[in-house]
Amino acid sequence: MPHEKLPINKDVLIWARTSIGLSVDDVAHKFYNKTSKDIQEWEKGITSPTYSQLERLAHEIYKRPLAVFFFPEVPSEGSPKTEFRTLPDAVLNELPPDLIKLYRRGKLFQLYLEELYEGQKPVQPSLIDSFELNERLDFASIRRELGITIEEQAGWHSTETAFKQWRDAFEAKGVFVFKDAFKNDEYSGFCLYDEKYPVIIVNNSMPDSRQVFTLFHELAHLLFRSGGVDFRSRGVVRSFEGYYLNTEIACNRFANLFLVPQDTFDSFRFERTESYFERLADYFSVSREVILRNCFDRGFVNEQYYSEMSAKWIEQAKEHKEEGSGGNYYYSQRAYLGDKYIGLVYGKYYQNKITIDTVAEYLNVKVKNLPAFEYMVMEGGKPR
């Protein structure tokens, strides 16, 4: 018996698919019992998916709010080309579908934040309001704004702790940080600029030390008032020219100089040994590569040594990444979403401002699984 046809907008179905670079065949492949003809009939309005199939399309495949498929018109929005204007067209045109899907998820988070904050800015003024990336930028002023001294940073001795502390500091100043498994090691992360709701999306598959660097690379892009991408390979950036190359160099330089202040770095006597790089990496809670880059910029090591050592350490990181991981889906969601965002969602729910269905959508957890999520990740409705 055929199911009742849903009143969804066929044009939105087409838009949702094409906006992340998927073909009809790609979508059909994700359904075990659907053909390309079935998908085409949905998009022509001849038939429609069932409600559960639409949920899967929205949340798992297209990464869109379910409600958007019932809109009378296709939403107007930006695109990777307009967001990542610091990237050459040749690079933009080759962004893989998986990254475009993550881009869409980032836009979705911005929409959720706007709804959760009811159109108001999370912080006034935000970190992005207070600073701009230029030659006169005072790193010490940003540190004071974030509330983290170099002495506190030196006490962490852990890149995992460093990421959490920096993330908390960013979010307290209006820059939300989310994580995801990119399934593509060419990209360490990206950011989406917005006057009210700037977000940074970090590749959770990267080592913690790289995730820390990505936070500050992307913060630099936001201080340029632009979205941006952190490429894992220096080879990609070397292919850039002019403005595009200068922007990436500036963002990398910002991350290096912020995480490793020059005066503190200079207080350590240079030694061309791996133990030296390890000792300073531990002190600043960064990667050995960041310390090596500072040494290269100061002329302590040549380009050949820099290239050989960084390649060696990147290979070591690949061998050790995600050892013993896999873990629990709910704990992964907590890491991806962050305590502040989860607390914000539940806070609105307890104030009766959003429904349980909306909570499930915002947290990417099925309604029936929310009690398990809350039990395993929360205590008394508040993130641990």
In sequence order, the 6+-apart residues with CB closer than 8 A to the CB of 67 are none
Task: State the DSSP string of 126-160.
Answer: -HHHH---STT--HHHHHHHHT--HHHHHTT--HH
Q: What is the pLDDT of residue 233?
A: 77
Residue 109 pLDDT: 92
* CATH 1.10.260 residue spans of the chain: 10-76
The CA-based dihedral angle spanning residues 19, 179, 170, 76, taken in that order and rounded to the nearest 10 degrees: 10
- Between 384 and 139, name the one with better pLDDT: 139
The C-alpha torsion from 232 through 210 and 361 to 127, rounded to 10°, is: -110
User: According to the model, what pLDDT value does residue 319 have?
Assistant: 67
If pLDDT is split at 50, 70 and 90, which confidence band does 22 have?
confident
The angle that helices 242-259 and 139-146 make with each other, rounded to 10 degrees, is 60
88 phi/psi in degrees, rounded to 5: -65, 155
Q: Rounded to whole angstroms, how far apart are CA atoms 370 and 359?
A: 9
What pTM value is reported for the model?
A: 0.81
Q: Quick one: pLDDT band at residue 274, thresholds 50, 70, 90?
A: very high
The pLDDT value given to residue 314: 78
Cis peptide before 80 (omega within 30 of 0): no
pLDDT band at 247 (very low <50, low <70, confident <90, very high): very high
Instruction: Write the pLDDT tens digit of every residue in 152-169.
Output: 999 999 999 999 999 999
Average pLDDT score over residue span 21-33: 86
pLDDT tens for each residue of 285-300: 999 999 999 999 889 9
Distance between CA atoms of 231 and 211, rounded to whole angstroms? 12
Better-predicted residue by pLDDT, 341 or 67: 341
What sign does the dihedral 291-296-300-303 (CA atoms) show? Answer: positive
Does residue 344 surpass a pLDDT of 50?
A: yes
pLDDT digits (tens, 9 = 90+) for 188-238: 999 999 999 999 999 998 999 999 999 999 999 999 999 999 998 777 888
Q: DSSP code of 5?
A: P
Output the pLDDT for position 195. Answer: 93
Predicted confidence (pLDDT) at residue 326 exceeds the cutoff of 60: no
pLDDT at 65: 76
| For residues 313-337, average pLDDT | 74
Handedness of CA 19, 206, 159, 262 (dihedral sign): negative
Fold type of domain 10-76: 434 Repressor (Amino-terminal Domain) (1.10.260)
Among 21-30, 56-65, 184-193, name the one with the lowest average pLDDT: 56-65
pLDDT computed for residue 173 by the predictor: 97
The position carrying tokens 């959003």 is: 354
For every residue of 254-307, DSSP letters joined together read HHHHHHS-HHHHHTSPP-SSHHHHHHHHHHHTS-HHHHHHHHHHTTSS-HHHHH
Residue 285, classified by CB atoms within 10 Å of its CB into exposed (0-12), middle (13-18) or buried (19+), is: buried
Is the pLDDT score of 16 beyond 70? yes
In this predicted structure, the answer to whether residue 383 has a pLDDT above a threshold of 60 is no
